[in-house]
Structure 1
């Protein structure tokens, strides 16, 4: 086993909780236990390599725990010809996992900000979404973490984030509400203070 730290709380801060991370062998053994609990034989041919595949997949699904949003937003560009209006990247695809049932929720993110002292590369906003999405999440927390990271690292005059997603915990189990979409949004700075800026944000998303 080795020491492992992960971010805690609903913001983009660097607070961490420490705990002992299981070994690869222990993780694979846990998968075998779940396969047997589900009612199948983990020793049959088709499942022999499943524990290794699952742990490798988890490494991809939850890679965000080892990535730093501050590093992603660290480089900005100041030579933008005096541009100080809304910068919007919309329809950013993402997939995450619900922390309550560990099943996926999939959707798209829309991010806007009003620059204060330069802009960040547009691809960095998509990478920022990916960092937080690749952790166990709730959609509400994911929304807050994205906008907090933008505010903490870019210091914009205002920011707006909106997420739209379908949650498999609703469509695959429970009420089985196929196609139901959950929408969350949060505004800060000028966007929170000025309804006109909010309306502009929503109008630009719909174009």
Structure 2
């Protein structure tokens, strides 16, 4: 039995399911439609694939070594989260006042556009988090047993993280959609949009004002 692998699965599961920007944007988009929510989850997994690939290649170390680059990515990520969050909060206030229930992103009259938007927002929300590649760079080597080749092992660990994300985030979207009868009521929808938007704004502000680890 591979104790290192079992331990990593537990750590990775905790990282993936921990509520944060990824979770908030999935819930927000899933209120619009199931397809958009699931696509957002797939986009997040794509962002994680980028982070883990950077860690395996050692490129994440560049973010640590070049403060300006790290700060640039941090500012981009923070600004994007603020943009998404502020839109959600404004929409929640407007819909709450009008009492009209609509999609979390303004409705998906065109399912194809909703899927593309979900993929894009999920990917950018995750990919523009500069702390993620640094985290994976420091985490993955801890679960490579002595004497084993590092690259194949870290590739396996990376695949586990991405697979967990592909299960968890689309699953969250399906759960939100399954509760849609209640969540899409005007009052509940406005509350969920406001909370998820507030989370995105807060996380964006942390990235904009955060210091380099």
Q: Do they superpose with TM above 0.5?
A: no
Structure with higher Rg: it is 1
Please, what TM-score do these two structures have when normalized by structure 1?
0.24
Q: Relative contact order, CA 8 A, sep 6+: which one is greater?
A: 2
Q: Which has the higher helix share?
A: 2
Normalised to the residue count of structure 2, the TM-score between the two structures is 0.24
